[in-house]
Every structure is written in structure tokens, then in C-alpha cells.
Amino acid sequence: MGEHVLEANFAPVAALLADRARAAMLSALLDGRPLAAGELARAAGVSAQTASAHLGRLLDGGMVTVVKQGRHRYYRLRSAEIAQVIEAISRISPPVEVRSLRQSRDAKRLHVARTCYDHLAGEAGVAFFEALLGGGLIEGGETGGADGAYEVTDKGEERFGGIGVDVAEVRKARRRFAGHCLDWTERRPHLNGALGAALTARMIEIGWFERGRTRRALSLTERGARGLADSFGCVLPE
């Protein structure tokens, strides 16, 4: 009989994440949107040639994938699972030393509201998740207390439909439906999965949140503050 593999070999993945330039590129891609090699080179503070080499390693390691649009090539994280790994490492990593007023402002914006790959995170994400649970719009299944497996209630399906999110369509996505991940800054859970992504995309689309200059940061609009309170009982500071 063959031997069973009892442990995962995570050393190659750890080696990919151990380089500062590659870590900066992966952090930039947590925005959820594809970025060109030049944009990633600037985010990492390296030359185009060096960035190309790093991206080659990330591609070979299965951390990123290429999106082609005409003659252009863009890079994005391979999956939401990769984003969760990066966020998890961020929680046990020391914070970046703030050396300028701009860095201080950027850090505050990310703390308040940001995207975690494709779903809402930060203070806003945590408050939104708590409002959905507290309001009976989602409920935890048997594994809800561990890594999060959640179902939408009839009430939730109606409320989500009210802002244009079709839960039946969301279920068709080839990824986990609804779970949670521990927020990097808040140390409390926010909603992830296909449901978290669909709700976040819709809230941006209808102008409840706006993307800012700071990568990944989101700004709550007046319309969004009213909408979150009226539709989900979620009150956030503007």
C-alpha cells in the first residue's frame, strides 16, 4: 500500500511570499482588479525587468494568473483562496512603519473600509457582517462557528433582492457560497464567498461605496449610509 500524505509542503509557497517585492505585488492585487506589470513594478518599487522575473515566479507558483485584453496582459490573484492566505499572514505580521502623513491617511482609509480581494472588509465589512447576522438575513450552518458556512434566510433573500442581488444566481458561482474570514485590522469576521463578492460589487455599482485613490480603499457615500441603514440596519460613521 502506498503512503498517505499527511502534511502539506507549504515551504515553496512561503518562499514566494518571503520576498518584499513579491509581497508588495500580491498586496496590490488584493484590490481584486487586474493590474498591468508596469503598475505592479511601481507598487513594488522595482524595475520592469525585475518585476517580470517576480511575476514569472508567482505564475509558476500558482499565486497569480494572466488576463489578456487584446494586446495587453494583466495579472490578478489566482483565486479568493490566495487572498485569504495573504490576509491571514497579514494578521500575524508586524504593521508597516508609518513615515509620512500620506501613509497615515492611507492606513486610516484601509482601516475604515476596503476590499479584501472582492468583498467588503475593515470596520465597514465587520459591521455589515454583524448586521446581516443580527438582523436574521443570514444564519450559520453547522460549521458556522469555525470557518463560516452561512445560508441566506427568506428575509435575507428579499432584502438582497431589494438592492438587485439575485441569491439564486449567486449560488451558481463556482466557488464557496458564503463564509467568513477574520478581518486583518479588526480581528473580527467579515463576509466572504460568492455572496460577499456579489453584495460588495452591487454596493459599489449603486454608489453606496466609491473607490478612492488609495488602492483597495473604499469610501462610504451619504447614499450608502442611508441605504445600509434602511436595507440592512447597518449604521456606519460617514
Instruction: List the CATH number of the domain containing 20.
Output: 1.10.10.10
Helix 37-44 to helix 48-60 angle, to the nearest 10 degrees?
A: 100
CA–CA separation, 29 vs 149, rounded Å?
26
* Other beta carbons within 10 Å of 74: 16
93 domain residue, yes or no: no
pLDDT value of position 214: 78
pLDDT band at 102 (very low <50, low <70, confident <90, very high): low
Residue 143: pLDDT over 50:
no
Closest CA to 137 of 178, 170, 104, 102: 178
pLDDT value of position 92: 74
2 domain residue, yes or no: no
Beta bridge partners of residue 77, listed in sequence order: 64
Closest CA to 87 of 227, 181, 206: 181
Of 76-80, 102-106, 199-203, where does the model show the most confidence? 199-203
Global confidence as pTM: 0.74
1 domain residue, yes or no: no
Residue 71: pLDDT over 80:
yes
Say whether both 39 and 154 belong to one domain. no
pLDDT band at 7 (very low <50, low <70, confident <90, very high): low
Residue 140: pLDDT over 70:
yes
Residue 64: pLDDT over 80:
yes
Q: In a 3-state reduction of DSSP, which class is residue 206?
A: coil
pLDDT value of position 146: 45
pLDDT band at 126 (very low <50, low <70, confident <90, very high): very high
Determine contact, residues 164/206, Cβ cutoff 8 Å: yes
Say whether both 114 and 59 belong to one domain. no
Q: For residues 223-231, give the mean pLDDT.
A: 95
pLDDT value of position 145: 42
Say whether both 111 and 48 belong to one domain. no
Say whether both 112 and 218 belong to one domain. yes
Q: For residues 179-188, give the mean pLDDT.
A: 84
pLDDT value of position 148: 66
Residue 191: pLDDT over 70:
yes
Query: Across the chain, what does the average pLDDT equal?
Result: 86
Lowest-confidence pick of 9-13, 51-55, 75-79:
9-13
Say whether both 179 and 72 belong to one domain. no
Say whether both 47 and 125 belong to one domain. no
pLDDT band at 144 (very low <50, low <70, confident <90, very high): very low
Residue 147: pLDDT over 60:
no
Say whether both 30 and 129 belong to one domain. no
pLDDT value of position 106: 64
The domain of 163 spans: 101-232
Say whether both 125 and 70 belong to one domain. no
55 domain residue, yes or no: yes
What is the amino acid identity at position 149? A
Say whether both 138 and 219 belong to one domain. yes
What is the amino acid identity at position 124? A
Lowest-confidence pick of 27-41, 86-100, 108-122:
86-100
The number of folded domains in the chain is: 2
Residue 237: pLDDT over 50:
yes
Say whether both 64 and 109 belong to one domain. no
* Boundary residue ending a domain (43, 78, 113): 78
Helix 20-29 to helix 80-91 angle, to the nearest 10 degrees?
A: 120
44 domain residue, yes or no: yes
Say whether both 210 and 176 belong to one domain. yes
107 domain residue, yes or no: yes
Residue with more model confidence, 94 or 220: 220
114 domain residue, yes or no: yes
Say whether both 68 and 154 belong to one domain. no
* Other beta carbons within 10 Å of 15: 12
* Boundary residue ending a domain (29, 45, 78): 78
- Burial of 225-237, coded b for 16+ CB within 10 Å and e otherwise, reads bebbeebbebebe
Q: Say which residue the cell 488584493 belongs to.
A: 30
85 domain residue, yes or no: no
